Amino acid sequence: MIIDTHAHYDDEAFDEDRDQLIRGFAENGIEMVVNVGAGIETSKRTLELVAQYENVYGAVGVHPDGVQDLTEADMEWLKSVSGREKIVAIGEIGLDYYWDTAERQIQKKWFVRQLGLAREVGLPVIIHSREAAADTLEIMKAEKSEEIGGVIHCFSYGVEMAREYLKMGFFLGIGGVLTFKNGRRLKEVVEYAPMESLVLETDSPYLTPVPYRGKRNNSNYLPLVVEELAKIKGLSAQEVIDITRENALRLYRISGRDR
Ligand code: NI
C-alpha cells in the first residue's frame, strides 16, 4: 500500500470531511500518512490527529514562514512532544526565500536550532527549501546533516542539488508537481535519482496532481503520481508503491514491528 510522507490534514480545507477522508484511506490503498506541523499550533493539531487515528503519524516543527514569533519555550515544548508515540520527524523546517515572511537571518537561526533539536532527540528532519538552494545546502553541510538524515520535501531544485542531498543520504519527496506540464526539471531529477531515494508525498491540501490541479489535494490522488513515476522509471505501478513504501518506513525509522 501507499505511504503519504507529507500532508497537512490539520488544514481548515479539511474541516468538512476530515474524518471521512482519513477513515477511507485504507480502502483507497493508502496505508498511512505523516501529518506535518508547520508551526506550534499545527504541531499541536498534529499530535491530536496522531492520537485519534491509527493510520496517521506525525512530525512537529516550525516552517520558515512561521519562525518570527518562535521562542525558547516553544523549542522546549517541541522537544517535550518529540518523543511521543508515532512522532517520527522534526519538520517541516528550512528556508523560504520565495515568501520571505521572516527575515533571512531569523529563518537561518531557527533552521539551525531545529536541526540541532532533531540531532538531540534522534529524529530525522523534513526540509522545506524554496528558492534558497545555496543557503540551505550550506547550513545542512555545516550542521553535518548527513548524521541526522531525513527528506527534502517537495524537491524543487535540479540534478546538481539532488546529487548533493543524495550524497548526504537524504530522501527526495516527490508529489503532484511530477504530473505538471512544467514539471520537466523534477522529471529529470527523478530520472537521475536511484529509486531507493524517492518517497511519495502530497503536501495536501496543496500541489494537486493533474488532472485535478487547482482543486484541493488529498492522499487518494497519489496513484496519479505513482503512474508518472512508474513511466519515468520503467517500473510497474506496484513496484513503485512497494519500493517507495519501504523507503518511507526507512526514512521515518518505522520498523516492521510497529506496523
Ligand atoms: Ni508541507
Q: Per-residue pLDDT for the chain (259 aa), expressed as one digit of tens each? A: 999 999 999 999 999 999 999 999 999 999 999 999 999 999 999 999 999 999 999 999 999 999 999 999 999 999 999 999 999 999 999 999 999 999 999 999 999 999 999 999 999 999 999 999 999 999 999 999 999 999 999 999 999 999 999 999 999 999 999 999 999 999 999 999 999 999 999 999 999 999 999 999 999 999 999 999 999 999 999 999 999 999 999 999 998 645 4
Question: Could you tell me the distance, in angstroms and rounded to a whole number, from the CA of residue 36 to the centre of ligand 1?
Answer: 7
**Strands ordered across the beta sheet of 30-36:** 2-7, 30-36, 56-60, 87-96, 125-130, 150-152, 171-174, 198-200
User: What's the chain's Rg over C-alpha atoms?
Assistant: 17
CB–CB of 143/115 below 8 Å?
yes
Question: Could you tell me the distance, in angstroms and rounded to a whole number, from the CA of residue 60 to the centre of ligand 1?
Answer: 12
Q: What phi and psi values does residue 74 have, to the nearest 5 degrees?
A: -60, -40
Would you give the DSSP letter of residue 204?
B
CB–CB of 150/115 below 8 Å?
no
Question: Could you tell me the distance, in angstroms and rounded to a whole number, from the CA of residue 120 to the centre of ligand 1?
Answer: 23
Cell of residue 101, nine digits: 515572511
Question: Could you tell me the distance, in angstroms and rounded to a whole number, from the CA of residue 188 to the centre of ligand 1?
Answer: 22
Question: Could you tell me the distance, in angstroms and rounded to a whole number, from the CA of residue 256 to the centre of ligand 1?
Answer: 26
Virtual torsion, Cα 78, 176, 131, 71, nearest 10 deg: -10
Of residues 239, 223, 200, the one with CA closest to residue 4: 200
* Count of Cβ atoms closer than 10 Å to residue 166 Cβ: 19
Q: Say what the pLDDT of residue 255 is.
A: 84
CB–CB of 102/65 below 8 Å?
yes
Q: DSSP 3-state assignment of 151?
A: strand
* Count of Cβ atoms closer than 10 Å to residue 222 Cβ: 28
User: What is the C-alpha separation between 129 and 95, in angstroms, rounded?
Assistant: 5
Question: Could you tell me the distance, in angstroms and rounded to a whole number, from the CA of residue 63 to the centre of ligand 1?
Answer: 8
CB–CB of 206/197 below 8 Å?
no
Burial class (CB in 10 A: 0-12, 13-18, 19+), 23: exposed
pTM of this prediction?
0.96
Question: Could you tell me the distance, in angstroms and rounded to a whole number, from the CA of residue 126 to the centre of ligand 1?
Answer: 9
